[in-house]
A and B are shown apart, each in its own frame.
Chain A
Amino acid sequence: MKNYLFVLRKPAHSGAYLQEMLDIMLITAAFDQSVSILWLDDAVFQLKNHQQPEVSGMKDTAAMLQSLSLYDVTELYIETESLQQRGLNTDNLCLPVQTLPRQEIGEFMRGFDVVFAG
């Protein structure tokens, strides 16, 4: 078994990007690997509550991400500065995530076997 960290950096509605990242994250979990996720930069918007994407024919990314808990993916992290710079806080998010300050991210990443850039 390997410890995976998936790093998400793209905003909520970037084509099939999030759906395909979710697919690989869930498959990895289904293969009994340890899965953690880190949201950076505009990717924090993926977790934003109260989206109305149906208006534009898109899917609610916050709702899609609820499937993580079905696969016991609960190690969820978000960069403090990415949230603050976008006027958000953890109360605006759809999942319970742990905040990590930017200066600790490098050391945090060193703790994983695989850093999966997404």
Chain B
Amino acid sequence: MKFAIQINSSPYHNHAWLTAYQFIRAALLEQHEIVRVFFYHEGVYHAFKYATPPDDEINFVKCWSELARDYHIDLVVCISAAQRRGLLHSDEAQRQGKQDNDVADGFRIAGLGQLVEAISLADRFIVFG
């Protein structure tokens, strides 16, 4: 089965992302397909490259980046939600007269059309958080 996943809450507001992450891993083990994971609303905080949790805590950025690397999962962050919250890719930062690239490995920034497309391609759409 093909799943489209949306994550709406930030890493430290609740553990919805961990439920989503575990669901995705379980679905992949069962040979299901993850069409895309879309980060919206406060969910964009998952993609901040410089989030540095203490060593004895779960590192959400690392979890996502490794998931994207190991399973080729498409992790997409909504561009307008990201810009509101100060998450800019290097191209966009330059355009806005700002510096740096804040986006962690494995994530890409794109528009809401990517969410609509993922839902169209999927058999099931699940919202977390």
Q: Which residue in chain A gives the minimum CB-CB distance to B127?
A: A117
Consensus secondary structure, chain A interface? mixed
Stretch at the interface among A25-33, A48-56, A59-67: A25-33
Contact, CB under 8 Å: B112 / A27: yes
Shortest distance from the beta carbon of A53 to any chain B beta carbon, whole Å: 18
Which A residues lie within 8 Å of B112 (CB)? Answer: 23-24, 27
Shortest distance from the beta carbon of A67 to any chain B beta carbon, whole Å: 15
Given contacts A2-B119, A31-B113, contact A16 B127 (CB under 8 A): no
Q: A16-B81, A20-B78 are in contact. List 15 more A-B contacts (CB 8 A).
A: A2-B120, A16-B84, A17-B41, A20-B80, A20-B81, A23-B80, A23-B112, A24-B115, A27-B111, A27-B112, A27-B116, A31-B113, A31-B120, A33-B116, A116-B125
Top 6 A-B residue pairs of the complex, sorted by shortest distance between their CB atoms? A27-B112, A117-B127, A31-B116, A28-B116, A114-B125, A24-B112
| Chain A residues close to B by CB (< 8 Å) | 2, 4, 16-17, 20, 23-24, 27-28, 31, 33, 114, 116-117
